[in-house]
């Protein structure tokens, strides 16, 4: 089952909604149902409009990312908010700052547009109360309040919020990206601890869950920064599998099955002479067997539109390139010469080895 179907596409960006979002709609319909069908329609409509603002917020990030050459594959809507998936991390602090600021700026513009309709006396804590009678005025006030809160909450200096990325970008203009991430992580987890303490003292479960989410996300961000740093230090030309088994277009799927069962190799290059014709993966074979029990030639199931990377690219660049193509494996070339295949699994394994070696080097002087 697809738990996050695409509901809209905007300039090649897929807007996906997780099915759990329907539970939120049902909950809002229920708490407003005391006002009958009008209340149910109000609760559902308000929720949809709130998440439309979230989509616009994430599109702000997405379009800002595109201006600095970073494609965005999709935006995922969850009951707790939205996530824009960038194909790679920004290369400079200025780029990260611009991308991070763009989202809250969208909500500032929305709030300013709504302000004339709610009056200068409106406060950002004026959320619609289910005991109030549904009205257009109540709807506009709720939207205004939500956008103000989106700005204030997202500007908290904590990962994975925009404020955390703004903080790191500012620090990275003074120190290295890795050091900036370390400082920003410590601050983020400090903010999470404060939020968690307030949540426990006030008995707010949702706020406590938010604090835990921020705390662990900050740790993940630090780990990802370390991974980028380590992978940037190695070239893919030093990490691809030189001993990989290759196939010819005349080989059958039965041979691939035998190789999968008797080796750890999941991806196979289909070559003719020194020319790479395509790539056959374990998934290709499984799908072919499920659709057609006949022993097909691998030429019939191979992927001819594969990702190409230069052997001089870093492992981090290759990881980003593969991710941008929504693929799992790439072909490594030296000019026109095919060298071999490298997959995301290979890169993860290389990262584990590089990390082990790096940690041992850092410990050896102290031993």
d(CA 261, CA 107): 54
Q: Do residues 338 and 271 make contact, with C-beta atoms less than 8 angstroms apart?
A: yes
Average pLDDT for residues 333-351, to the nearest whole number? 87
Average pLDDT for residues 296-322, to the nearest whole number? 87
More confident position, 309 or 364: 309
Average pLDDT for residues 58-80, to the nearest whole number? 85
- Biggest distance spanned by C-alpha atoms of the chain: 76
CATH of 236-354, one of 3.30.1330.10, 3.30.70.20, 3.10.580.10, 2.60.120.560: 3.10.580.10
What is the strand order of the sheet 337-343 is part of? 307-310, 329-334, 337-343
Residue 367's pLDDT band (boundaries 50, 70, 90)? Answer: very low
Q: Do residues 278 and 302 make contact, with C-beta atoms less than 8 angstroms apart?
A: yes
Q: Do residues 237 and 215 make contact, with C-beta atoms less than 8 angstroms apart?
A: no
Q: Do residues 303 and 269 make contact, with C-beta atoms less than 8 angstroms apart?
A: no
Q: What is the pLDDT of residue 226?
A: 82
Instruction: Report the DSSP pairing between strands 246-247 and 267-272.
Output: parallel
pLDDT in tens, 238-252: 778 777 888 888 888
Q: Do residues 284 and 301 make contact, with C-beta atoms less than 8 angstroms apart?
A: yes
d(CA 244, CA 251): 16
- For 134-138, 304-308, 360-364, which range has the lowest pLDDT when averaged over its residues? 360-364
Residue 252: beta bridge partners?
297
Q: Which two tokens stand for residue 119?
A: 């009056």
Kind and range of the H or E element at 329? Answer: strand 329-334
pLDDT in tens, 189-228: 999 999 889 988 888 887 888 888 888 888 888 888 888 8
Task: Tell me what the pLDDT averaged over the chain comes to.
Answer: 84
pLDDT in tens, 252-278: 888 888 888 887 788 888 988 888 999
Q: Is the pLDDT of residue 353 over 80?
A: yes
pLDDT in tens, 101-147: 999 999 999 988 888 887 655 555 567 777 788 888 888 888 898 89
Q: Is the pLDDT of residue 365 over 60?
A: no
Q: What is the pLDDT of residue 362?
A: 63
> Hunting for tokens 């001993």 — which residue is that?
243
Average pLDDT for residues 61-83, to the nearest whole number? 84
d(CA 218, CA 224): 10
Which residues lie closer than 8 Å to 340 by C-beta, 6 or more apart? 240, 241, 242, 244, 269, 331, 332
State how far the alpha carbon of 146 is from the alpha carbons of 157, 286, 314, in Å: 19, 47, 43
d(CA 270, CA 258): 16
Tell me the domain boundaries of the chain.
Answer: 6-231, 236-354
Question: Residue 127 carries which DSSP code?
Answer: P
Residue count of the chain, please give it.
367
Q: What is the pLDDT of residue 101?
A: 94
């Amino acid at each position: 089952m697809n738990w996050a179907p695409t509901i809209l596409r905007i300039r090649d960006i897929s807007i996906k909604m997780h099915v759990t979002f329907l539970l939120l709609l049902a909950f809002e319909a229920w708490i407003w149902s005391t006002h009958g069908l009008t209340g149910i329609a109000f609760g559902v409509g308000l929720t949809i409009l709130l998440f439309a603002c979230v989509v616009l917020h994430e599109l702000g990030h997405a379009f800002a990312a595109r201006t600095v050459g970073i494609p965005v594959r999709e935006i995922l809507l969850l009951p707790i908010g939205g996530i824009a998936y960038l194909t790679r991390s920004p290369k400079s602090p200025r780029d990260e700052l611009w991308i991070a600021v763009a989202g809250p700026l969208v909500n500032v513009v929305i709030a300013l547009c709504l302000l004339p309709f709610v009056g200068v006396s409106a406060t950002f804590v004026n959320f619609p109360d289910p005991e109030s009678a549904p009205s257009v005025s109540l709807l506009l006030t709720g939207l205004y309040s939500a956008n103000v809160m989106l700005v204030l909450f997202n500007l908290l200096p904590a990962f994975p919020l925009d404020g955390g990325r703004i903080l790191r970008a500012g620090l990275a203009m003074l120190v290295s990206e890795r050091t900036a991430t370390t400082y920003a992580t410590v601050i983020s987890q400090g903010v999470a601890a404060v939020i968690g303490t307030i949540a426990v003292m006030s008995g707010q479960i949702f706020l406590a869950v938010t604090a835990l989410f921020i705390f662990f996300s900050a740790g993940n961000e630090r780990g990802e920064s370390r991974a980028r740093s380590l992978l940037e230090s190695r070239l893919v030309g030093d990490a691809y599998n030189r001993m990989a088994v290759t196939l010819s277009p005349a080989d059958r799927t039965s041979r691939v099955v035998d190789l999968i069962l008797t080796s750890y190799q999941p991806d196979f290059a289909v070559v003719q002479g020194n020319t790479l014709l395509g790539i056959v993966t374990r998934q290709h074979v499984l799908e072919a067997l499920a659709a057609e029990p006949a022993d097909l030639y691998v030429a019939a199931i191979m992927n001819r539109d594969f990702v190409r990377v230069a052997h001089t690219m870093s492992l981090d660049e290759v990881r980003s390139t593969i991710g941008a193509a929504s693929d799992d494996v790439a072909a490594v070339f030296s000019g026109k010469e095919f060298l071999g295949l490298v997959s995301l699994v290979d890169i993860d394994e290389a990262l584990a080895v590089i990390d082990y070696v790096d940690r041992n080097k850092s410990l050896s002087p102290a031993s």
